[in-house]
A = this chain, B = another copy of it.
Amino acid sequence: MNPKPLILITNDDGIFAPGIFALYQALRSFAQVCVVAPVTEKSAVGHAITISDPLRVQEITRKDDFHGYAVDGTPADCVKIAIRALMDRQPDLVMSGINSGANVGTSLIYSGTVSAATEGTLLNIPSVAISVASLTTGDFRGAAAAAIEMARRVLKHGLPGGTLLNVNVPAVEPDKIRGYRVTRQGNLHYREGFDRREDPRGRVYYWMTGQMLEPEKNHASDSWALNQNYISVTPVHYRLTDEDFLPDLKSWELP
C-alpha cells in the first residue's frame, strides 16, 4: 500500500490565522498533515531562530479536526523543532502559509513565511512558501487550489537541494486567475520613513512607514505576474556568495 505523503504545515501569521486553516483543509484531502506553527503572529521576523530562550510547545485544536502544535518561537524554530523533536518521521514536504499578504521582490528577505521554507530546505526537505496578495482577504480558494497543485508537483518532481519555491496567488475570484508563471524575484521600490510621535508621558517613539514608489515593470518578475493576475512561482536559493564580484575583489590585493 502506498502511504499518503506526510506534509509539515507552518506559517508566520500564527496557528490561529485563517490562512493556515485553509492550507490544512486543502492538503489533508490527499496527504497526512502535521501542523507546527507560531502561537502568535510573527511577520517580518526574517530568518530568526531562538537560541537565548527556551521554546514552549502546546497542543491546540480548532474546528474540523484541526490540531497542531503551537510554538512560542519563530517560523524557522517551528520547522526545526517539528523535524528534530515533534514528528515521528521526516516529512516529504514543508508548506508554509497561506500567508495573508504577498511575499515578492525585496520583501522576501524579511519574510517569516519564506524563512520557514528556507529552514525546510536546510534540513533537506522540499519546501514551498505560499501567500495570497491581500492582507485582509478571507477568500483562500484560489490559494488553496494552488497549494494542492504545487504540493503534488513538488512531491512528484522534487526540488534541487537548497532551493525552495515561493508561490504568490492573486487575491481575486478563482476564475479571474490567469494561470501560473515561472518568475524571478523582482525589485520592489519602497520608500521607508519613520513617523515620530510622543506618548502621553512625552517620550518619543517611531512607527516605520512604507510607500511603494512604482510598480515593478519587469515582465519576468514575481510582482508583475501577480499584478497581472497570474500565480507567480519563483525558485529561491540561499547561496549568497556574489560570484560575479569575486574577481574584482581579488584585484584589491588585500595584504
Task: State which of B206, B241, B250 has its C-beta within 8 Å of the C-beta of A236.
Answer: B241
Q: How far is the CB of A69 from chain B (nearest CB, A)?
A: 11
Given contacts A85-B194, A163-B245, A235-B249, contact A208 B56 (CB under 8 A): no
Say if the beta carbon of A122 comes within 8 Å of chain B: yes
Can you give 15 contacting A-B residue pairs, CB < 8 Å? A46-B47, A46-B49, A47-B109, A48-B110, A49-B110, A49-B208, A108-B240, A165-B249, A179-B254, A184-B243, A233-B249, A234-B241, A236-B240, A237-B245, A238-B240
Closest B residue to A193 using CB positions: B84
Question: Counting CB contacts under 8 A, is A180 at the interface?
Answer: yes
The interface residues of chain B lying within 8 Å CB-to-CB of A106 are 122, 238
B44 touches A51 (CB 8 A): yes
* Measured CA separation A234–B243 after assembly (Å): 10
Contacts of A219 in B (CB 8 A): none
- Shortest C-beta distance, A163 to chain B (Å), equals 5
In contact, A182 and B246 (Cβ under 8 angstroms):
yes
Q: Contact at A44–B55, with CB atoms within 8 Å?
A: no
A163-203 at interface with B (beta carbon < 8 Å): 163, 165, 179-180, 182, 184-185, 192-194, 196-197, 203
Closest CB of chain B to A89's CB: distance in Å? 16
